[in-house]
Structure 1
Amino acid sequence: MTTGPLRDDEQHILFEIERALRRDRRLDRQMRTLGRRRRPLLGRVARWWPRPWTAAVLLVVSVALMAAGIDTSEPAVIWMFAAVWPVTLYSVFRLLCRWTEP
């Protein structure tokens, strides 16, 4: 295999391939966003969340709010539980996914 400059016909073929690739918008978008996919979506927050202690605290708060909501039937407590519970499930799910990754 030679490492010298390309012949004229090879250079022309390479130019045509590059031109066709530049016109492909889907490929262009994928190439531009390829490096960004590895970065966390939440920025600084994604570094520490979800850690085991975060998921544990959210789980304790959720259980406490659930028990208080059942006991008192206060709408504010029930709404706070409704707000905290999905975040708790998400953090526990992310934590379990992280622990089961190879």
Structure 2
Amino acid sequence: MSGRNDPEDSVLSSRERLALRHIAAELSADRRLARRMRHLPPRLRWLTLSVSILTCASLVLVVMGIRTSDPNIIWSFAVLWPLTLIQAFRLLCRLTVTGDRTTASWR
């Protein structure tokens, strides 16, 4: 085990540090790479998907409830709408806590 090279123990020369800074600057300027690196965590991805589906279902129910005035559809909307708002609020809280990269540039 002691024969392994530990990266924390290595010392870089000034030329090597300059080369690493240059590489890091080029990588940070690459927009395509930055876009690929900006993926949502799986839990946040599922939460976003559930909010989208609940919002679409709520909109369909509210339109159908207005068009038909069917009490069952109206009650279905009344049950689904608070769940949609709760999930949307959870998504909003997660995005602000984790520091979403799309809004981080505004701060």
2:87 and 2:61 mapped to 1: Cα distance? 17
Q: Which residue of 1 aligns with 2:68?
A: 72
**Length-normalised TM-score, structure 1:** 0.51
1:100 and 1:84 mapped to 2: Cα distance? 25
Instruction: Calculate the aligned-residue CA RMSD, in Å.
Output: 1.8
Matching of residue 97 in structure 1 with residue 97 in structure 2: no
Instruction: Give the secondary-structure state (helix, strand or coil) at the position aligned to 1:51.
Output: helix
1:85 and 1:94 mapped to 2: Cα distance? 14
| Counterpart residue identity of residue 62, structure 1 | S
Instruction: Give the secondary-structure state (helix, strand or coil) at the position aligned to 2:57.
Output: helix
Matching of residue 83 in structure 1 with residue 79 in structure 2: yes
- The number of aligned residues is 56
User: What are the residue-to-residue correspondences of 1:1-102 with 2, within 5 Å?
Assistant: 48=43, 51-101=47-97, 102=99
1:51 and 1:74 mapped to 2: Cα distance? 30
Deviations, residues 7-35 of structure 1 (Å, cap 9, x unaligned): xxxxxxxxxxxxxxxxxxxxxxxxxxxxx
Structure of greater Rg: 1
1:48 and 1:84 mapped to 2: Cα distance? 21
In the TM superposition, structure 1's runs of 4+ consecutive aligned residues that sit over 6 Å from their partners are none
Deviation of 1:67 after TM superposition, in Å, equals 0.3
What are the ranges of 5 or more consecutive residues in structure 1 without an aligned counterpart?
1-46
1:64 and 1:83 mapped to 2: Cα distance? 14
